[in-house]
Amino acid sequence: MPQVKVTIQRGAGLHARPAAEFVKLANRFAAASSVRLNGRQANAKSILGILSLGANRGSEVELEVDGVDAERAMTALRDFLATASE
Amino acid sequence: MQPDELTAQPEVAAASTDMSVARHAAAGLSELLNTDTVRLHVHASTPNEVIDRAGGLLFAEGGIEKRYIEAMKGSLVANGPYMVIVPGLVLLHARPEDGAVELCMSLITLDPAIPFGNPDNDPVTIAIAFAATDNKGHLDALASLTTLLGNETAMATLRASDTVERALAAIRAGSGPEPSVSGSVTGGMRNAAG
């Protein structure tokens, strides 16, 4: 099960708009995906799960992806988090 | 936060001092939402009026300063439709430093439903406003809500409630302690594989 550590650079972190966009992105893929921070794990396809992680800019999270399109999902999700918003 | 504590088996955690944590998190929603902080069939014409009504309940409880209500309106302008996080439900809050006095939460059901500008999740029939004095309280409140909002049965019952007592019963039923104890946040409208 591919796992990758990412330091969040997007916006102020996984709140409000970035969280909604991240979840939308995760839902585009068949693969299951999760984000882990400080021992807590949230389903990346669930806005509530992501919001209650409280991941801020600078937080290092662990992305875990599993499924048919896992590689593409992993790349997309990792790049989303690692890239400062335009 | 020790990962070991958070991933402990529920029964072990319940037996240990983590019980106080579980009770705090579980009692969270059921204590915060009561006959003073829940109102049904509220009539409002605009999103700002919704904030006035939901925020007014927090202010009456002494949970926030008046300026927190304005801060929630500002947050709506900044984040807008993204606060309608799941179909029909808007989450209203500002930052601790915007005038939060203590951890508090209110819930109002809206009649008629009000559009907030989210094409996927409009119109809004339930508005939940909350405030916390620190980041941890803020996240705990969100985690408690996650449990309730992910419980489709409880949410359906809540929406259909015609008395505050029935609404509170639905909230109690939907706010189980387990996810907080295990530390795994897998809530969401679709609870499938978790």
What is the predicted pLDDT for the residue at B176?
66
Residue B150 CA neighbour count, 13 Å, CB half: 27
Per the CB < 8 Å rule, is B186 touching A41?
Answer: yes
pLDDT tens digits, chain B, 194 residues: what are they?
Answer: 444 444 444 444 444 444 444 434 444 788 889 999 999 999 999 999 999 999 999 999 999 999 999 999 999 998 878 899 888 999 999 989 999 999 999 999 999 999 999 998 999 999 999 999 987 888 888 888 888 888 889 999 998 899 999 999 999 888 765 444 334 444 444 444 44
ipTM, 2 dp: 0.73
**Where are chain A's structural domains?**
3-82
Which pLDDT score is estimated for B80? 76
Chain A residue closest to B135 (CA)? A54
CB within 8 Å of chain A, chain B residues 42-101: 78-79, 82-83, 85-86
Closest-approach residue (CA) in chain B for A34: B186
Q: How far is CA A3 from CA A9, A33, A47, A62, A70, in A?
A: 18, 10, 21, 7, 10
Q: What is the pLDDT of residue B105?
A: 95
CB contact under 8 A, A48 and B2: no
The superfamily CATH assigns to domain A3-82 is HPr-like (3.30.1340.10)
Asked whether the beta carbons of residue A20 and residue B150 sit closer than 8 angstroms, the reply is no
pLDDT of the residue at B138: 80
Looking at residue A1, its pLDDT comes to 67
Residue A2's pLDDT is what?
77
Global pTM value: 0.77
B121/chain A closest Cα distance in angstroms: 12
Is residue B93 part of the annotated active site? The answer reads: yes
pLDDT reported for residue A85: 73
In the predicted model, residues of chain A with pLDDT beneath 70 are 1, 86
Rounded distance between C-alpha atoms, residue B95 and residue B132, angstroms: 8
| DSSP β-ladder status, B104-114 and B124-131 | antiparallel
- pLDDT recorded at residue B117: 92
| Cα–Cα dist B39/B35, whole Å | 8
